[in-house]
Amino acid sequence: MFQKVKLAICGCAVLALPLQISAQKPKGATKQIEKVTRKGSELVIPYEKYVLPNGLTLVIHEDHSDPIVHVDVTYHVGSAREEVGKSGFAHFFEHMMFQGSDHVADEEHFKLVSQAGGTLNGTTNRDRTNYFETIPSNQLETALWLEADRMGFLLDAVTQKKFEIQRSTVKNERGQNYDNRPYGLVGETTARALYPYGHPYSWLTIGYIEDLNRVNVDDLKNFFLRWYGPNNATVTVGGDVNPQEVIKMAEKYFGSIPRGPEVKNRELPAVTLPQDRYVSYEDNVRFPMLRMVYPTVPVRHPDEAPLDCLAEILGSGKNSILYKNLIKTQKAVQADASHPTAELAGEFTLAVLPFPGQTLTDMEKIVRASLNEFEKTGVTDDAVTRFKAKFESGIINSLESVSGKVSRLASNQTFSGNPNDLPKEYKRYMAVTKADVMRVYNQYIKNKHAVILSVVPKGQAQAVAKADNYKPTNTDYKAPANEYAGLKYVKPQDNFDRSQRPGAGKNPVVTVPPFYRDNLPNGIKVIGTENKEVPMVTLLFSVQGGHKLSAKDPSRAGIASLMAAMLNESSEKYTAEELSSELEKLGSSISFSGGTESINVSVESQVKNLDATIALLEERMLHPRFDVADFDRLKKQRLEQIANQATQPTVIADNVYNKLLYGENNILAVPTLGTTATVNNITLDDVKKFYQDNFSPSVTNLVIVGDVNQQGIMPKLAFLNKWAAKPVTMPTLPLAPGIDKTKVFIVNKEKAAQSEIRIGYLALPFDATGEYYKSGLMNYTLGGNFNSRINLNLREEKGYTYGARSAYAGTELVGPFTAQAGVRANVSDSAVVEFIKEIKNFRGQGIKDDELSFLKSSVGQRDALKYETPFQKALFLNNIVKYNLAADFVKKQNEILQNITKEEINALAKKNLPLEKMSIMLVGDKALIQPGLEKLGYEIVELDTDGNPAKEATTPTAPAKTAPAEKSKKEPAKPRKSIPEIRTS
């Protein structure tokens, strides 16, 4: 799918008039602005657009293909509206919008939508904040009531306690996704150097910790009053709806909310750099990074599309110049180019991660030489054709769900004032010429200055591309006018009782997609369904075996995924570059990947290009070249990837946890990538033999979803009959060692600001209607949804984490029950205590009546959302054929759900939550976390990053009777190309 990371800027408006909010209900009538319909097969999303008297924009898209509705409320405010010294506030406020309002209790927004069988979230970027729900169509009024209540009745429900908990949650989010993630500070460091001090793009949406510590509740309230008026919002509703009913609901719930202060767009001067700005920082990474960023143009600028095309030519895919000069030559692990844009600016970005032995100085030289090479060779017709085909397929894919269509309508209205911006965008990209691409190269890149960032491993400050020569200053900064004076909170005046939750309409009729089956003579099991919503076809092959087959020769573990990587390379007739070029010109994709139990082949194609795509699929599947140069490069990359995992706490945690679960002699204890030792053992002949012995139609399932019927697709797949079957014997894996008693395992990661926690045991294999399914229902209350006991405790009550959960994860093999979270290091012991407390209480006291009712309502109604997109349909069908499920298994699941009792749930909890026989594992700073863990009374074993014992175990003499205290108290007071967004959950 074509996606482009977009930056977003909304400049702060400077108001000439004093701010006033009317206390009167807005007068006048709702006005229809336009109605757009589709003519023939044109690329248009039909909609109706209205404006309420208070300025709220309402956009409605009617689509009865599935019994679901997507509601999006977008406020034209993001981090670009923040003040210097108060960064991160837009995102912080997004969190607060989920903490209850006058008529909706704390955490009830999540609970009500989940109970209705829906999903929800919120995201923030530099330009806007949006809140959205996807729900069964009979729950539309509830969604609109919820959104209107927090738009009009938020502030009296805001408390200091809620404020502090969400401040802690946001800080955890920053730690998890930025401070403690490899290369997590790249964007922040670049933005600070690229934009002038005080520019709304000079900080990231997450904000700075010191700013989050500085803000108070009054700041939050003023932010709400300034930016969250209905006249700065677009409500977009799409799906199985009647537009006239939507209008009435919108008028009822949003119509009385007073208009807010006016919000004006702002243009800022284009950023120019007087010289190359070299900046750097040290990070806990294996590979250094070179990143060159040139300032360009805003979104929807005429030069945006040709700059996007330039980025594709320079650094996207196997036909790009950077791939040829850096990846193919084994000088870099990664090299790419991108062009994120926003309302006020864009950034043309070139990034390289060199192999060990290469310097960032050399990388900069090669990148600059590659730009000179492009200047000499120019732009080919093929390059432009590939770019346009890829863009067209990406657009079509983005419209396969109602949420995708609604999101695009909402974004277009917010930023251009025209929901129907898609045809203009399409025309803009289809009009790109070779001359356009050369022109923008000369205008924005050639001989222009850039921010050049070096990220180097800790202790290697000398490894930068060039010494730092820039630090931002506030010399020329002039603070904008105060936007927050004189704001007053005036509640809407209604003629109905908002405290009464709307009733649900009649439950929509949900039917499992009709599907067909077929069996080919060579053993391939086929299952498929016709889907006419978009002119696309998805094929999903699953060749059973995968990493599990390495049990036959564990010394070469990782061979399955390495073989899959080789199938993404050259065929007998075509080089990898030629195959990639042809696929991109078709707007198609073919990818191979190696998993624990299968090799997966994923194919996507527009219907009109299906025959040509299948011809290329035959080349890759049945006629791989297995070129020695490709193998050497991929093996080298694989070894570096494995070594790099030692810098990533989440990967360490998962790998060590698997080793604890499955034991030394089980292949499932070994990562699918393999280890340094096992991958070093693999030769090209080994890969060829693995392909010959195990890549067989006799163990292959094929799922087909798309705008083609069985009679139309099967003849096109005739090449599969040439695939000769061979017997493949699946190994019998050894029994995993039992856990005789609960122990604590620590993997030391010095100075880690967060700890990764895993608690669990090897539980059950997959069973669609048996104990596994029922145990999943049991766990839903414990840790299976946002309002679960575990998440509400650790995230919403304690503020220890950005998110905590538990789940059963069985396949055809026995899989684990795992409770997990990433938590602040200084509360690691307390977090473990809370996990144990919740599991113990649930096992001992059982489920409550209201929790059982919530479970049945939530899980029972979510079927409406299960089968909407082609990908969802493919996963559903894949499970049917993989596990040989009965055609009516969904019906049986619903019967189990509706009939399950408290006694059954409680019995499952007692049986399948054996707290006395679980492994508790943490990856974190031992010196900080071990003293508190010793108070738990469990034996403690220290492991290294490979899961091997690091020293003798320590056994405390007496268990703790109470939870250990925290080490320190809480500190006082991105469809179409989109910016990386920050989500609430």
Query: pLDDT, tens digit, for every residue of 252-305?
Result: 999 999 999 999 988 899 999 999 999 999 998 999 999 999 999 999 999 999
For the ranges 207-216, 379-388, 953-962, the maximum mean pLDDT occurs at 379-388
Pairing of strands 57-62, 68-75: unpaired
**pLDDT value at residue 952:** 52
**Residue whose token pair is 């053993």:** 523
Q: For 218-243, how does the pLDDT look when each residue is reduced to its tens digit (9 = 90+)? A: 998 999 999 999 999 999 999 999 99
Q: Is the pLDDT confidence value at 417 over 80?
A: yes
Rounded CA separation 296/450 (Å): 11
Contacts 24+ apart (CB under 8 A), 192-195: 192/279, 192/472, 193/277, 193/279, 193/451, 193/453, 193/470, 193/472, 194/271, 194/273, 194/277, 194/293, 194/295, 194/347, 194/451, 195/271, 195/345
Q: The domain at 277-463 falls in which architecture?
A: 2-Layer Sandwich (3.30)
Residues of the chain with pLDDT > 90, as a percent, come to 84
DSSP class of 978: B
Phi, psi of 748 (to 5 degrees): -75, 125
Which amino acid, one-letter code, is at 447? N
Interacting residues of 589 by C-beta distance below 8 A, sequence separation 6+: 583, 602, 603, 604, 605
Pairing of strands 233-239, 57-62: parallel
C-alpha of 686 from chain center: 36
Q: Is the CB of residue 567 less than 8 Å from the CB of residue 624?
A: yes
Q: Is the CB of residue 50 less than 8 Å from the CB of residue 248?
A: no
Q: What residues does 131 pair with on adjacent strands?
A: 73, 122
Q: Is the CB of residue 747 less than 8 Å from the CB of residue 943?
A: yes
Q: Is the pLDDT confidence value at 394 over 90?
A: yes
Residues of the chain with CATH 3.30.830.10: 31-264, 277-463, 516-648+668-722, 743-943
Interacting residues of 654 by C-beta distance below 8 A, sequence separation 6+: 758
Rounded CA separation 270/346 (Å): 9
Lowest mean pLDDT among 21-35, 320-334, 443-457, 912-926: 21-35
Q: Taking residues 941-947, what's their average pLDDT? A: 94
Phi, psi of 600 (to 5 degrees): -110, 140
* Closest to 528 measured CA to CA, from 329, 343, 706, 700: 706
**pLDDT value at residue 10:** 33
Rounded CA separation 494/793 (Å): 36
**pLDDT value at residue 7:** 38
Rounded CA separation 202/334 (Å): 26
Cβ neighbour number for residue 265 with a 10 Å cutoff = 12
**pLDDT value at residue 984:** 46
Q: Is the CB of residue 826 less than 8 Å from the CB of residue 744?
A: no
Check whether domain 516-648+668-722 has CATH 3.40.50.300, yes or no: no
**pLDDT value at residue 904:** 98
Rounded CA separation 810/813 (Å): 6
Q: For 641-650, how does the pLDDT look when each residue is reduced to its tens digit (9 = 90+)? A: 999 988 889 9
DSSP class of 97: T
Tell me what the pLDDT averaged over the chain comes to: 91
Interacting residues of 848 by C-beta distance below 8 A, sequence separation 6+: none
Interacting residues of 375 by C-beta distance below 8 A, sequence separation 6+: 441, 446
Q: For 18-35, how does the pLDDT look when each residue is reduced to its tens digit (9 = 90+)? A: 333 333 456 689 999 999
Left if phi > 0, otherwise alpha if psi is -120 to 50, otherwise beta: which for 509? beta
Alpha-helical regions (H) of 626-770: 628-644, 649-662, 676-681, 684-694, 710-713
Q: Is the CB of residue 90 less than 8 Å from the CB of residue 78?
A: yes
Interacting residues of 483 by C-beta distance below 8 A, sequence separation 6+: 12, 13, 14, 15, 19, 226, 261
Q: Is the CB of residue 264 less than 8 Å from the CB of residue 227?
A: no
**pLDDT value at residue 959:** 37
* H or E element at residue 124: strand 119-124
Q: Is the CB of residue 543 less than 8 Å from the CB of residue 690?
A: no
Rounded CA separation 963/831 (Å): 9
Rounded to a whole number of angstroms, the CA Rg of the chain reads 28
Rounded CA separation 558/546 (Å): 9
Check whether domain 31-264 has CATH 3.40.50.1260, yes or no: no
Rounded CA separation 96/725 (Å): 58
**pLDDT value at residue 737:** 85
Residues of the chain with pLDDT > 70, as a percent, come to 94
Please report, for residues 169, 191, 933, 937, the alpha-carbon distance to residue 832 in angstroms, rounded to integers and kept in the order given. Answer: 17, 37, 8, 12
Rounded (10°) angle between helices 304-315 and 360-377? 120
**pLDDT value at residue 750:** 87
Rounded CA separation 404/912 (Å): 39
DSSP structure string for 744-793 = EEEEE-TT-SEEEEEEEEEEE---SSSHHHHHHHHHHHHHSSTTSHHHII
Cβ neighbour number for residue 56 with a 10 Å cutoff = 26
Interacting residues of 468 by C-beta distance below 8 A, sequence separation 6+: 278, 279, 280
Q: Is the pLDDT confidence value at 170 over 80?
A: yes
pLDDT band at residue 951 under the 50/70/90 scheme: low
Which amino acid, one-letter code, is at 977? K
C-alpha of 82 from chain center: 25
Q: Taking residues 152-181, what's their average pLDDT? A: 92
Pairing of strands 598-606, 536-544: antiparallel
Q: Is the pLDDT confidence value at 895 over 60?
A: yes
**Half-sphere CA count of 670, side-chain side, radius 13 A:** 28
Rounded CA separation 204/7 (Å): 10
pLDDT band at residue 566 under the 50/70/90 scheme: very high
Rounded CA separation 748/696 (Å): 43
Q: Is the pLDDT confidence value at 800 over 80?
A: yes
Rounded CA separation 903/806 (Å): 21
pLDDT band at residue 973 under the 50/70/90 scheme: very low
**pLDDT value at residue 544:** 97
Interacting residues of 155 by C-beta distance below 8 A, sequence separation 6+: 221, 224, 225, 489
Rounded CA separation 5/543 (Å): 33
* Closest to 322 measured CA to CA, from 339, 334, 306: 334
What is residue 892's three-state secondary structure? Answer: helix
Cβ neighbour number for residue 336 with a 10 Å cutoff = 20
Tokens representing residue 159 in the block: 């408390």
pLDDT band at residue 309 under the 50/70/90 scheme: very high
* Total number of residues shown for the chain: 985
Q: Is the pLDDT confidence value at 473 over 70?
A: yes
What superfamily does domain 743-943 belong to in CATH?
Answer: Metalloenzyme, LuxS/M16 peptidase-like (3.30.830.10)
